[in-house]
Chain A
Amino acid sequence: MFDDPDALTGSDRTHYATCAECQARYAGMAEDARSAATLLAAPELKLDIASAFKRVQAAPAAKPRFGFSFPILRPASRPMFAGLAAAVVLAALVVTAFANVLPLFQPKTVATVPVTVADIQSLSALSDYGTVTWSQQPNPQIVLSAADAEKIAGFKAPVAKYLPKGTSSTITYGAMAKAVAVFTFDAAKAQSAAAKSGKALPKLPAGMDGAKLTVTAGPAIIEIYGNLNLGSEGSSNANSNGSSQNINLPELVIAESVAPLVTSTQVTAKQLEDYVLSMPGISKELAAAVRAIGDPSGTLLIPVPIQYATSTPVTIQGSHGVALGDNTGLGSAVIWIKGNVFAVAGPQKQSEVIKVASNLK
């Protein structure tokens, strides 16, 4: 009413004209509003927008990056992470191959597959076997609140009812809407990749060329505990070397994602299974490990580099999950599926991470 006197309807206006209480209340509010306007007066700003833009452009952090900057990763760990990401895509491929219901696969539980660094490196050449295109680009974003993250993901952000002692109360929320990747198998590409590695490509099943595998990932929410920007706060000269050394490692990471959904065209599950496992670049050990899981239809395979971590089966909130412990003792993680895929990770003892996971609401 103070800001927009026209907002008052006819009947309200009549009531206001005769009601002393409303008039008094309005007088008080108007006084508060006038006083706030006076109190919040600020010195005039004289802006030079062009030079301000130049300064922003010159800042090292202003260089565009692809979506998340993944503050949790040190530069040295990025190739490793890229390799793991490729391995996850291939794991999805393998899992699809096992799925008996051809066009649809959504994991209900998790299992780990031990992989070696060599496996991971060879898997990153996935593009040698076909084309990966995004029909919906992954667009992970850092947002300001849990509510914003929930808006993007479309489900409630997980709440940790137990936190290890000393965990920061600063939470950075990240969210990603659904992303859809389409991998189209290309026989010619696979042939030349096999020729390059000096290995013969197994005979292509009919319909394999041009077969499409659609992987839908997310939506997802990630919660990162800890003040990640502390190192670069409040100093314009501290960033002079433009490095990411002043990034703090998170104290705890909690993530929830809708389980990935995989669909395929043209080929049967059995064909895909046999073919994918016989592709050059997949070690016999990896293929054997995948086969050993038994009936993994509905199982999300998590590649675990054998040199880096050990894994143990655990039960989290009544669901089967796996706990990954870093051999160095510096960190651990637990992953389980209860409708959605959940993960809790941090530089903590495994028992602490499991306690956080068990108390996640």
Chain B
Amino acid sequence: MGLNLEAAAEGPKRLVKTREEAFEALFKTEYARVAGIANRVLADPHEAEDVAQEVFINFHRLHSATAQFAPAWLHRAAAHAALNRIRGRRRREKRDMAQAPDEGSRTMDPQQMLEVSEDRRMVRAALARMAPKPAAVLVLRASGLSYSEVAQALGVGTGQIGTLLRRAEATLRKEVTRGTSI
């Protein structure tokens, strides 16, 4: 009985420790990938790290790091959180432009308009216009996830990924072309 009581007293502490350890191990294994996915969407390393950390914080708040679905959850959350940001950004930009078009063109450095970042902005705007699933398929695959990892992250069969990916690639291309021709 005495032994049991000791074990009971040690139990919660040990549990907390292992939970923390498991989370740290998961963080170390997956952080680069999660940040990579967010960066693929945002094309902004700082913002990508913000998103990655937010995703890990949310995960830790809600789930155990030992959960089998942990990597898939993180990959999907990274893609969706980053896509939500560019959608929000796009809405904000639209609103700002509508409210103060003159100011927008006044403060913009003409040189900057020619920079590569404009292309990136176009691509991000195209991604933001796409439906969430195809956009996520594209981003996850471009971040180096295998077909099976993409399938797990999105909760679809691995057999569907090829078709989803091909359609998404075609859509992205069309969306970017549409964006440049506007």
The contact string, 1 if C-beta is below 8 Å from chain A, for chain B 1-25, is 0000000000000001001100110
Contact B62 A45 (CB under 8 A): no
Contact of A36 with B by CB under 8 A: yes
Judge whether B28 is part of the interface by a CB distance below 8 angstroms.
yes
Main secondary structure of the interface of B (DSSP, over half): helix
**Cβ-defined partner of A35 (8 Å) among B16, B42, B76, B169:** B169
With contacts A29-B169, A33-B169, A40-B142 taken as known, whether A56 is within 8 angstroms of B53 at the C-beta atoms is yes
Cβ 8 A contact of B155, one of A32, A52, A147: A147
- Number of residues of chain B lying within 8 A (CB) of chain A: 52
Given contacts A36-B172, A52-B53, A61-B61, contact A43 B39 (CB under 8 A): yes
In the bound assembly, the distance between CA atoms of A171 and B17 in angstroms comes to 33
Whether A141 and B39, one on each chain, are in contact in the complex, defined by CB atoms closer than 8 angstroms, is no
Contact between chains at A29 and B32 (CB < 8 Å): no
CB-nearest residue of chain A relative to B142? A40
When the two chains form the complex, which single residue of B32, B44, B58, B126 contacts A47, counting CB atoms closer than 8 Å?
B32
Q: Which of A111-156 contact B (CB under 8 A)?
A: 139, 141-142, 144-145, 147-148, 151
Q: Which residues of A contact B58 (CB under 8 A)?
A: 61
B52 within 8 A of A: yes
Q: How far is the CA of A151 from the CA of B73 in the complex (A)?
A: 14
Q: How many residues of A contact B (CB 8 A)?
A: 38
Q: List residues of B (126-150) whose CB comes within 8 Å of A's CBs.
A: 126, 138-139, 142, 147
Does the CB pair B56–A56 fall under 8 Å? yes
B-contacting residues of A (Cβ < 8 Å)? 3, 28-29, 32-33, 35-37, 39-40, 42-47, 49, 52-53, 55-56, 59, 61-62, 64-65, 68-69, 139, 141-142, 144-145, 147-148, 151, 234, 236
| 7 CB-based A-B contacts, threshold 8 Å | A3-B147, A29-B169, A36-B172, A39-B172, A59-B53, A59-B57, A64-B20
Given A40-B138, A49-B28, A62-B61, 5 more A-B residue pairs with CB atoms under 8 Å apart are A32-B166, A40-B172, A47-B31, A53-B31, A68-B62
Partner-A contacts on B (CB < 8 A): 16, 19-20, 23-24, 27-28, 31-32, 35-36, 39-40, 42-45, 48-50, 52-53, 56-58, 60-64, 67, 73, 76-77, 80, 88, 123, 126, 138-139, 142, 147, 155, 162, 165-166, 168-170, 172-173, 176
